[in-house]
Chains A and B, each alone.
Chain A
Amino acid sequence: MRRLLSIELFKLRFSKSAKVLSIIYFLLFFSTAIFSMIRFKFGDFEFQLAEQGIFNFPYIWHFNTYMVAIIKLFLAVVIVSMVSSEYTNRTLKQNFIDGLSKKEFVLSKFYTLLTFALVSTILVFLVSLVLGLIYSDYNEPSIIFSDLHFLLAYFIKLTAFFSLCMFLAILIRKSAFALGFLFLLLIVESIAIVSLRNEIPWLSHFFPLESMANLIKEPFTRFNVVKSASTAMGTDFSRDVKTYWYEYLIPIGWTFVFVFGSLKVLKSRDL
């Protein structure tokens, strides 16, 4: 495993686009945190997002993992390009000729995306912990470390999404088309969900992108301001935002499908 990871990281070290995109990713990562700390002034009215309770433990785990997951797309581009560039430079073929097996190739990419997901998860944990410690109204350890399952969900979500990107890149070979296909999948899924809403609503749980989205449901209706506003208006906005056990299993299942699918495609294809 260490050998395969070191092979892939060695390749990435020299990839300019990978470096630039990773830097953008981490800049965006921290800027979301900084953004919430800014005080907005509208005349006499001062507003700071951080003081509205979004950084309260344990709510912060939910809010941050949800928000930060949106910018995973930047890392997805890194994953897609690190796979498709192997096709365009024809280094994939040379790797195999040099004695890297097809399984090792897929695993080296998979370990790398696992590393990305893990690093991102650890960063979310650290950033949220710091922000929470600064702004949270509750600082008891039992509250701080509750609801940590959002981090697990975040890790699974990223891993599944990156695996999908790897699979598409291996299948389609061209990075632009692979990313295009990803958006197409998003559109197709949205249409399918809407059109199946009444007939077979449970089916949408099994769609790849939807299953990843179900891992961390929107946090806004849990937000104090929204909650109090909704009670004031007499309507109940609160929805079921709990993640059920099978909602963890489906994206994990997809991850396996994508990894083995990648291997299957590579094995059956003549280069």
Chain B
Amino acid sequence: MEKILSVHQLTKKYGKLNAVNQLTFDIEKGHVYGLLGPNGSGKSTTLGMLLNVVNPTSGNFKWFENQSDITDALKQIGAIIESPNFYPAMSALDNLKLVAKIKELASPDYEAKLRLVDLWDRKDEAFKNFSLGMKQRLAIASALLNNPQILILDEPTNGLDPKGIRQIRDIILKIAQSGTTILLASHLLDEVEKICTHVIVLQQGKMIYNGKVEEMKASFGFLELAANNQEELIEMLKELPQVEEVNQTEYKYVKAILNADLPPEKINKICFEKGIVLTHLMWKKETLEDNFLALTKSNIHA
């Protein structure tokens, strides 16, 4: 697999605070990565370092194997971080022309990029008159201007209304489907779950998970059960080899976390054979959110 980025022991300290702590990960071509973490977990600082606006305290990173000069690398990247920043008095098109000058692009296809984000009709309007959603879309068009090898987005749906969020997500999905590598920082699990194939979870500057989104979700899910005789049910579940852990989530239900395949019809049958009549049975897959909370919780105590 072709490596787009490899990060090694990247660290940023602000005084005593470890904003980013010995981060090490790789980004491979063609995947959509989510950089996930609560506010203040070091996502923006990490992106800032990778994009040459924040000086790392220690560690290093390398764009596109064998690329030595960071500004040359940046010209092959499309990135927007935090709010969309453009020259207020310039029109959308002029702002893109300026970006093209900076990136040394010979003849970029302004029309295609602006049409992709649905702004071609408003290309001559000044940036300052745009709504936040339009600004964010223009930022995406600008980031795509150089047909980047990787698109980096930092909280692209922050502050947008539901319609705006939907528009941005559709655009991102469209870009992802075209095979562009994407690195998306977000504190919205739902967003990462919908868009990303891989996820890197940060907490207090430390990486606590790095892998596929699918793998982060529990693979076998869990069962939610209830019976008239709750104690007997718990005893029985504990003896089953497919059950990893049993806990009583709410007073009504028992939660059995699975470590192997155990379809609901089978557990129903087992229970019935043992004389336990279930009043409630539900097989659920854990959401990313459950896992994320579990991960961050266990790391706070660790």
Contacts and interface: CB of A to CB of B under 8 A. Distances in A.
Chain A interface size range: 20 to 34
B97 A10 contact: yes
A96 B53 contact: yes
A97 B104 contact: no
Contact of B85 (A3, A7, A15, A94): A94
A89 B48 CA distance: 17
Contacts of A3: 101, 104
Given A15-B89, A89-B87, A270 B102 contact: no
Interface stretch (A72-80, A98-106, A191-199): A98-106
Interface in A80-129: 89-91, 93-101, 104
B260 interface: no
Chain B interface size range: 20 to 34
Interface stretch (B75-83, B115-123, B198-206, B279-287): B75-83
B53 A99 contact: no
Nearest to A269: B55
B144 to A, nearest CB: 12
Given A270-B55, A271-B53, A98 B103 contact: yes
Given A11-B87, A89-B86, A271-B54, A99 B74 contact: yes
Contacts, number: 73
A14 B85 CA distance: 16
B99 interface: yes
Interface string A234-248: 000000000000000
B98 interface: yes
Contact of A96 (B51, B94, B97): B51
B72 interface: yes
Given A3-B101, A3-B104, A6-B101, A96 B86 contact: no
Interface in B101-115: 101-104
A41 interface: no
B71 interface: yes
B52 interface: yes
Given A7-B98, A14-B90, A90 B85 contact: yes
A95 B97 CA distance: 13
Nearest to B97: A10
Interface of A: 3, 6-7, 10-11, 14-16, 89-91, 93-101, 104, 267-268, 270-271
Interface of B: 48, 51-55, 71-72, 74-75, 77, 79-81, 83, 85-90, 94, 97-99, 101-104, 142
